[in-house]
């Protein structure tokens, strides 16, 4: 396992991040703890959870697993989604953040989070209020670093500008959806993160399971892609382009003697700006397969073929810039 700095911080994180969204749900507690312990034993140090995963059960299981290994773990969680019925049980107001951090720390059985992330932009709360509160949590020792997730590029840039202006802690990372079948980040967010040195920790690096190669053109009857809503719904994945990308992944897997999942993760590991893809696993077999994405280097020729197959269509203003704004 190799390590990378998270954005402009000095924090070293493993090249893969173990996601825990299924822990306590489709992954039972015993298997969840086995995965986390094995991940740490093999050099992984980055664990990602959220206060709303399985109604907080994920955080409880993570806390139980790392209780005696806390110092070696980079522990990330999130705040924003609704956790109750009353009007202040969601968002990133000062009240909700202060309530949510204490609840997460209690479930995780720890005194601090290494990375606390805004799960999605809250249009009802001024970003100044959110950043001031997060800065206070850092000063109080409850949080070491802060990040965001599911932001537009302008929202991230506004947040960074406010932090610089008011001398608050900056977001060191963003957690977006990003994979061979979800490359919308390429339009603006990726170049912004490179310019501002913001770490990128993608979720759904396997497209909700689509890139594992388990699915055909027939609508699935099991797995995440059966969902009628969300980013991993069959309606979003079942496109001609996505299946063309999948065919390219499967061809590369056969050529490299790897699985499609390993190839899809390895492509991300070579992508400029990507810090640590977040992979999940419902079973120990899936976990073991995904761990096989590290320890080898994807040939540049294969990476280029996958990159071309999955690239976004030529769009303005990138098309215009490429033609008329070349460096002198």
| DSSP conformation letters of 255-286 | HHT--HHHHHHHHHHTSTTB---EE--SSHHH
The C-alpha angle with vertex 129 and arms to 123 and 134, in degrees rounded to 5, equals 110
Residue 321 has pLDDT above 90, yes or no: no
Phi, psi at 242, each rounded to 5°: -60, -40
Q: How many CA atoms lie within 13 A of 322 on its CB side?
A: 6
| Tokens matching residue 210 | 């689509």
Residue 92 has pLDDT above 90, yes or no: yes
C-alpha closest to that of 80 among 112, 61, 104 = 104
Q: Give the sheet arrangement for strand 17-19, strand by strand.
A: 199-200, 171-175, 143-149, 113-118, 74-79, 46-48, 17-19, 278-279
The alpha-carbon radius of gyration of the chain (Å, integer) is 20
53 is catalytic: yes
Catalytic residue among 3, 53, 178, 316: 53
Predicted local distance difference test score (pLDDT) of residue 328: 61
Model confidence pLDDT, tens digit, residues 269-285: 999 999 999 999 999 99
Predicted local distance difference test score (pLDDT) of residue 49: 98
pTM score? 0.95
| Tokens matching residue 126 | 């001024």
What residues contact residue 197 under an 8 Å CB cut-off, 6+ apart? 7, 8
The Cα-based distances of 313 to 153, 186, 230, 288, 309 in angstroms read 19, 11, 23, 35, 10
What is the average pLDDT across 223-230? 72
Residue 150 has pLDDT above 80, yes or no: yes
Predicted local distance difference test score (pLDDT) of residue 86: 94
As a whole number of angstroms, the distance between CA 260 and CA 245 comes to: 11
Q: Is CATH 3.20.20.100 the classification given to domain 3-212+271-296?
A: yes
Residue 174 has pLDDT above 70, yes or no: yes
What residues contact residue 150 under an 8 Å CB cut-off, 6+ apart? 119, 120, 121, 175, 176, 177
The answer to whether 277 touches 17, Cβ cutoff 8 Å, is: yes
Lowest-confidence pick of 169-173, 217-221, 314-318: 217-221
As a whole number of angstroms, the distance between CA 10 and CA 266 comes to: 24
Model confidence pLDDT, tens digit, residues 95-111: 999 999 999 999 999 99
Helices (H), the chain: 29-41, 57-66, 94-108, 127-139, 153-166, 189-196, 234-237, 240-256, 260-269, 284-291, 300-310, 318-324
C-alpha closest to that of 20 among 281, 265, 225, 261 = 281
Model confidence pLDDT, tens digit, residues 17-55: 999 999 999 999 999 999 999 999 999 999 999 999 999
């Amino acid at each position: 396992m190799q390590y990378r700095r998270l954005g402009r911080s000095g924090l070293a994180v493993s090249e893969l991040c173990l996601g825990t969204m299924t822990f306590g749900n489709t992954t039972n507690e015993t298997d969840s703890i086995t995965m986390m312990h094995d991940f740490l034993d093999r050099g992984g140090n980055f664990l990602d959870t959220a206060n709303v995963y399985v109604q907080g059960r994920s955080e409880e299981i993570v806390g139980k697993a790392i209780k005696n290994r806390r110092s070696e773990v980079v522990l990330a969680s999130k705040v924003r989604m609704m956790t109750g019925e009353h009007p202040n049980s969601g968002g990133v107001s000062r009240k909700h953040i202060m309530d949510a951090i204490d609840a997460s720390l209690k479930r995780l059985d720890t005194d601090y989070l290494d990375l606390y992330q805004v799960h999605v932009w809250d249009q009802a709360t001024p970003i100044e209020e959110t950043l001031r509160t997060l800065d206070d949590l850092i000063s109080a020792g409850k949080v070491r670093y802060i990040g965001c997730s599911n932001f537009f590029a302008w929202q991230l840039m506004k947040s960074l500008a406010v932090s610089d202006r008011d001398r608050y802690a900056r977001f060191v990372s963003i957690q977006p959806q990003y994979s061979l079948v979800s490359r919308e980040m390429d339009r603006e967010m990726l170049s912004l993160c490179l310019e501002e040195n913001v770490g990128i920790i993608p979720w759904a690096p396997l497209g909700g399971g689509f890139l594992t190669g388990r699915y055909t053109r027939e609508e699935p009857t099991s797995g995440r892609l059966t969902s009628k809503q969300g980013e991993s719904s069959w309606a979003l994945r079942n496109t001609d382009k996505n299946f063309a990308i999948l065919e390219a992944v499967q061809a590369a897997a056969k050529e490299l003697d790897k699985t499609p999942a390993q190839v899809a993760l390895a492509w991300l590991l070579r992508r400029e700006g990507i810090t640590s893809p977040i992979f999940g696993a419902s079973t120990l077999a899936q976990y073991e397969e995904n761990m096989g994405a590290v320890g080898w280097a994807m040939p540049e020729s294969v990476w280029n073929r996958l990159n071309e197959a999955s690239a976004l269509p030529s769009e303005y203003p990138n098309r215009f810039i490429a033609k008329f704004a070349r460096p002198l």
